[in-house]
Structure 1
């Protein structure tokens, strides 16, 4: 009996091996994007102020006065009282369907809700009020992820909306992947220098307030709003900016847009009509950017989702704003956000942790700290402390002369 069992197992194993051998070259692993949907009724009723709740997927981070706002991807914003950085407290959740970004000026919070722009009064943080909703002003705000296949499934466009995408790795026929590029994809979507108090976002932000204007980037455009009347933003004409726009950063009279193809620089001397100045191309990779002095610091994340095969830090000389030039590159594991405080450069290197550098000499960065065994996403360097979010945890660090020290953590889930 034992001999028969062993023989059967050998035959099965041989059959499986033969099957794999037959399929060799026919299949490969691909990134598949699948839509996240809600009903139009849920979307219209999808904004509310409720009690604190566990986070599902931590997204971008934003700081305003004594409060920290952390996006729960596509669901809303967690509000944290940070009056005492050693002991932050969750105090509320702003439920916003399809939300990924916010920005705040003088107690008015602006947030995206898929294609709508929401305006909330947060002057009394215990009694947040919804005061305005501009419909369909963020027309291309549902960002397409980098993927090999897009599966739309059954979508009832009369009653449903796409709020975002999730990506998974699946084994698919190579033949199907090759045929994909011969077909047209056709999908219809229904869709800090003045006296004001303006909050601060991280390097992954898509919203940016500069004086009386809110700039919100989507995959292709700079959406421009005049917010001189804070409660009643005026939707101005969009400015086409290219493809795969991911992030926005402001320095002086310039906007720096990070895309999967490069860094685009726009002049906002005339704030209502940003004008193209120059670009720095780096190939295809996920790309946030921050700027300090004569240099732009760009982290490129490679891998299947982002296109590039290698990850790293690009330091770009922008002393001639019309002609950005690559100054230096440094290898990294899989970076996301980054930030600068004086001569310190902070890089969230994904699962490789938080890395802190002395950037006095950009040609020879010196590593000051490396906080390992944490999954990092984005940072905000404030005047007195560093905020970082990653893996459903809020971290806060204290600046020291030559390094930084952890002062608190807050579990968000």
Structure 2
């Protein structure tokens, strides 16, 4: 019985290995190309707004706060959803935050990145978040997906002075 088990395990492992794509060690790995999405700082700072609910399409992190879900829409903002009845979650609002990929909460304060800025919102009224503070250049600039870096041709020195990276578009 033990031999049969070992044989089956060996065959399973071999079959699994044949399903893996072969990588030739001499070939470079080709990563997708991206272009930064830029926004003028003055536009970025005016773009934060509470909007009506909208469809989820490129979601990121999910944060649970009391009876609400906060769901990140990568590079665009945060969906606010009333989850009082988990069988029927009810969209409440969309908090537009260009360049947002992360959120955290402490008490009634929501902290969210917006490009390289850190925003603080008072969330005591989840249906009407209130921006109370913006700390410019508080977090690292949004890196390009897959590489985690900003290529030299797109770094701050090589683009308009007031341009902020708010996302990356796959080419």
Stretches of structure 1 lacking an aligned partner (at least 5 in a row): 1-27, 169-413
Q: Give every structure 1 segment of 4 or more consecutive aligned residues whose post-TM-superposition deviation is greater than 4 Å.
A: none
TM (norm. structure 2) is: 0.72
Q: Tell me the distance in 2 between the aligned counterparts of 1:161 and 1:146.
A: 20
1:75, distance to aligned residue in structure 2 (A): 0.7
> Helix, strand or coil for the counterpart of 2:168?
strand
Q: Is the 8 A contact 2:31 2:146 kept in 1?
A: no
- Whether 1:160 aligns to 2:163 is yes
Residue 125 of structure 1, CA deviation? 1.6
* 1:76 alignment partner in structure 2: 77
CA distance in 2, matches of 1:86, 1:108: 27
Which stretches in structure 2 are left out of the alignment for 5+ residues? Answer: 1-28
Deviation at 1:77, TM superposition (A): 0.2
Q: State the shift of 1:47 in Å.
A: 1.0
Q: Which has the higher contact order (CA 8 A, sep 6+)?
A: 2
Given the alignment of the two structures, is residue 145 of structure 1 paired with residue 148 of structure 2, yes or no?
no
- Give the SS at the match of 2:160: coil
Larger radius of gyration: 1
1:142 to partner: Cα distance? 1.3
CA RMSD in angstroms, aligned pairs only: 2.7
Partner of 1:52: 53
- How many pairs does the alignment contain? 141
Matches within 5 A, 1:254-403: none
Judge conservation of contact 2:111–2:120 (CA < 8 Å) in 1: yes
Q: In structure 2, the residue corresponding to 1:45 is in which secondary structure? A: helix
Whether the 8 Å CA contact 2:101–2:113 is kept in 1: the answer is: yes
Structure 1 residues 100 and 30 mapped into 2: Cα distance closer, same or farther (>3 Å)?
closer
Return the offset for 1:56. 3.7
Q: Which structure carries more strand by proportion?
A: 1
- 1:127 is aligned to 128
Cα deviation per residue 1:267-303 (whole Å; 9 max; x = unaligned)?
Answer: xxxxxxxxxxxxxxxxxxxxxxxxxxxxxxxxxxxxx
Alignment of 1:209-288 (within 5 A): none
Q: Secondary structure at the match of 2:44?
A: helix
